Amino acid sequence: MKYRTLGRTGLKVSEIGLGGEWFNGLTAEESTTIVDAAQEHGINYIDIFMPQAPTRDNLGIALQGRRDQFIIQGHLCTIYEDGQYTRTRDIEKTKRSFADLLERLHTDYIDVGMIHYIDSEEDFQTVFEGPVLEYAKELKEKGVIRHIGMSSHNPHIALKAVESGWIDALMFSINPAYDMEAADTDIYDLMEFKGMEKSGLVVDEARQKLYSACEAKGVAITVMKPLGAGTLLKAESSPFGVAMTVPQCIQYCLDRNGVKVVIVGCHTVEEVLEAVKYYDVTDEERSYAHIFSSGNAIHMTGRCMYCNHCQPCPAHIDIAAVTKFLDLATQQDTVPETVAQHYWALSATAEDCLMCGRCEPNCPFGVKIRENMKRAREIFRRK
């Protein structure tokens, strides 16, 4: 494992980090084995945004006796309300959720306090001119969080945060598909790859400007979505028409200005090993040059990234979970029995969808969620 300095924080962080979203649904034992594998291979950075109590409890158990050996990126403004994850700007809810995070992780501090998911000008003003930022600054003054960060998918909003001087770290979605889109592409079209031109790939100047600004100002980028939720790993789902490997995706991110750690979501020990295999392959095997071949077709997709930013759902559906099982089912000729069992074990399924569409405007990736729900109903229909 190699380490980089996390910008002006001075923290030494592993180039590969552990994404916490995939810990949802795991037992304490399973969570511990993944953290064990991460530590054994030198990973010292963990992102924890999930507000679900069991997930936080299990990670707290996994970190017992070794909290100081990990740098934790914990999020402000994520809450678990009425049985589901959602984002909030309510300061009292934010305070309760953050206090809950500390308690369940059995710690009295978080290394990077990440203000969660700001993609619009209106939301930026609400946070940076309101009580959320003041609360983050108060926590930093008390040493409860050591550094302030922010997560975003929008390069223009992210740049405003960097230039504000208030954030030390930026969690940003980076992969070659996102970077090769026209600079003036609307954020929702961007996440559907609509800005990619079939006549040639266009580097998004706004994103490159953001990365360079982060490097210049010492604001560290921690990368989310490096694999595009797996879409880049298969030719049929990649917008480039060819598959990449996990090491190639990691290399692409590490080559960007400002990037200090690439956060990979791992649901199993095997996925941890797949990520750290980056250090065992040759430079040639890490190369991603093949995706720029002019002969590669570009396919427009609006794939779910399983981030659950679409929540809350009035029918209490875990939309990300339903879509994960849908994707797993459609990758096989027949629906695997285990996948069907997990799907029907959900407290709410696509059968419960009201088709109200409230979720779709919340999705930063432009996913047609109602269409996915219809497909899930058909595929998982009980016979």
What is the DSSP annotation of 219-231? -EEEEE-TTGGGG
Residue extent(s) of CATH 3.20.20.100 domains in the chain? 3-292
Q: Is the peptide bond before 54 cis (omega within 30 degrees of 0)?
A: no
At residue 247's C-alpha, the angle toward residues 172 and 6, to 5°, is 40
Residue 323: name the closest of 312, 337, 339, 338 by CA. Answer: 339
Predicted confidence (pLDDT) per residue in 1-41, tens digit: 999 999 999 999 999 999 988 898 899 999 999 999 999 99
Tell me which DSSP letter residue 28 carries: H
Cβ proximity of 24 and 265 under 8 Å: no
Residue 383: name the closest of 344, 342, 327, 355 by CA. Answer: 344
Rounded to the nearest integer, the mean pLDDT of the chain is: 89
59-73, 143-157, 198-212, 247-261: which range is least confident on average? 198-212
Residue 336: name the closest of 325, 348, 323, 352 by CA. Answer: 325
Predicted confidence (pLDDT) per residue in 175-208, tens digit: 988 887 654 455 445 545 555 553 345 556 788 8
- pLDDT at position 198: 37
Q: Please count the other Cβ atoms lying within 10 Å of the Cβ belonging to residue 36.
A: 14
Predicted confidence (pLDDT) per residue in 81-93, tens digit: 888 888 999 999 9
- pLDDT at position 204: 67
Rg for the chain, CA atoms, rounded: 20
- If you average pLDDT over residues 346-369, what whole number do you get? 91
Please state which of the four CATH numbers 3.40.50.300, 3.30.499.10, 3.20.20.100, 3.50.50.60 is assigned to the domain occupying 3-292: 3.20.20.100
Report the SS3 class of residue 308: coil
Predicted confidence (pLDDT) per residue in 306-338, tens digit: 777 788 999 999 998 898 888 878 867 788 887
| Residues facing 169 on adjacent strands | 149, 220
pLDDT(284) > 60: yes
* Residue 259 CB-half CA count within 13 A: 23
- If you average pLDDT over residues 348-352, what whole number do you get? 96
pLDDT(221) > 60: yes
Q: Please count the other Cβ atoms lying within 10 Å of the Cβ belonging to residue 160.
A: 18
């996925």: which residue's tokens? 271
pLDDT(117) > 70: yes
Q: Please count the other Cβ atoms lying within 10 Å of the Cβ belonging to residue 51.
A: 24
Tokens for 264, please give them: 């990979």
In degrees and rounded to multiples of 5, residue 351 shows phi and psi of -60, -25
Tokens for 26, please give them: 């795991």
- If you average pLDDT over residues 298-308, what whole number do you get? 63
pTM of the model: 0.83
Cβ proximity of 172 and 151 under 8 Å: yes
pLDDT(243) > 90: yes
DSSP string, 191-260: TTTTT-BTTB----HHHHHHHHHHHHHT-EEEEE-TTGGGGGGSTTTSTTSS---HHHHHHHHHTSTTEE
pLDDT band at 364 (very low <50, low <70, confident <90, very high): confident
